[in-house]
Chain A
Amino acid sequence: MSPLVDTHKPIEILLAEDNPGDVRLTREALKDAKISNHLSVVADGLETLAFLHREGRYANAPRPHLILLDLNMPRMDGRQVLATIKADEDLRRIPVVVLSTSQDRQDIQKAYALQANCYVTKPTNYDQFVSVVKSVEEFWATIVELPPET
């Protein structure tokens, strides 16, 4: 359905997450996803923006098709990253899935007000975590039309 499915080009996913355990679980969940994907990982908000702007060591970074964004990260948190991405004429097109442990109503409201594409809470249980990440990948990679590269 998605034009990306036919091209055999992996979908580029950027994960912004400071918890190494969650990074490992996300990697595992995406490893056997139906749609081939390439995961890049950054551990804080400043790195995320550097990656997106291809600054410094990210000079050759691919433009992500999808961003998985944690809210609570050091240096610059996910809310600020989200606000920056969605205020940028070019970057705002990239879908941002907020993946957070927070179930706080305010966090959820704020994320949608900042135009997160969707908000998903991370289950603490291992199997459920993997299943949620797989659902996210499957939905965005096979059902959704991601923005085409221009």
Chain B
Amino acid sequence: MNTDTTTHPVEILLAEDNPGDVRLTQEALKDAKVHNRLHVVTDGVEAMAFLRREGDYAGVPRPDLILLDLNMPRMDGREVLKQLKSDEDFRRIPVVIITSSQAEEDILKAYDLQANCYVTKPVDLEQFMKVIKSVEEFWLTVVKLPPQ
């Protein structure tokens, strides 16, 4: 259904500091039906630099979708979300929160800050893969992402 993706890969930005979770997400997205490219940053400061194409990120693409962890060093996911959603341009990019936190407070806060959806990471490996695949399938094949 996503007609814009036939020629260009869907650019996904993953902001995640846990190397194990990064690897699992890479694996889950590797055999996705929709051609995609995963870019990884490991903290909030890097995530903002990537979006603003600063420094080492001068030539990077604008992400079509952001997968955002909440607990990261230097600048956490809540602050990234707040900055993104208060920016006229960046606010259109869908942000999927992927976190191990099931705290009601975190869920409410994320929706208050206009996260597009909130998903918790299961600790079980197979469940984790399944959840990432569901996120990928829904956002890449069912949803119309904002055109570039």
Contact = CB atoms under 8 A, between A and B. Distances in A.
Interface of A: 1, 3, 86, 92-93, 95, 103, 105, 108-109, 112-113, 115, 117-121, 123, 132, 135-136, 139-140, 143-145, 147-148, 150
B2 to A, nearest CB: 9
Interface of B: 1, 3, 85, 88, 91-94, 102, 104, 107-108, 111-112, 114, 116-120, 122, 127, 131, 134-135, 138-139, 142-147
A108 B138 CA distance: 17
Given A117-B117, A143-B131, A144-B117, A105 B139 contact: no
Given A93-B111, A93-B112, A117-B117, A143 B91 contact: no
Nearest to B141: A135
Contacts of A105: 147
A115 B114 contact: yes
Nearest to A3: B102
Given A139-B134, A139-B138, A145 B118 contact: yes
B119 A145 contact: yes
B102 A145 contact: yes
A140 B116 CA distance: 11
Contacts of B143: 118-120
A3 B117 CA distance: 15
Contacts of B93: 112
Contact of A148 (B3, B88, B108): B108
Nearest to A147: B111
Contacts of A144: 117-119
A92 B142 CA distance: 23
A121 B1 contact: yes
Given A112-B92, A147-B107, A135 B138 contact: yes
B144 A92 contact: no
Nearest to B2: A121
A109 B144 contact: no
A143 B135 contact: yes
A1 B131 contact: yes
Contacts of A140: 117
Nearest to A102: B144
Given A1-B122, A145-B107, 15 more contacts: A3-B102, A92-B111, A95-B117, A105-B147, A109-B92, A109-B146, A115-B91, A119-B145, A120-B142, A140-B117, A143-B135, A144-B117, A144-B119, A147-B107, A148-B104
Given A120-B144, A135-B142, A147 B92 contact: no
A123 B104 contact: no
A119 B144 contact: yes
Contacts of B120: 1, 145
A147 B138 contact: no
A108 B147 contact: yes
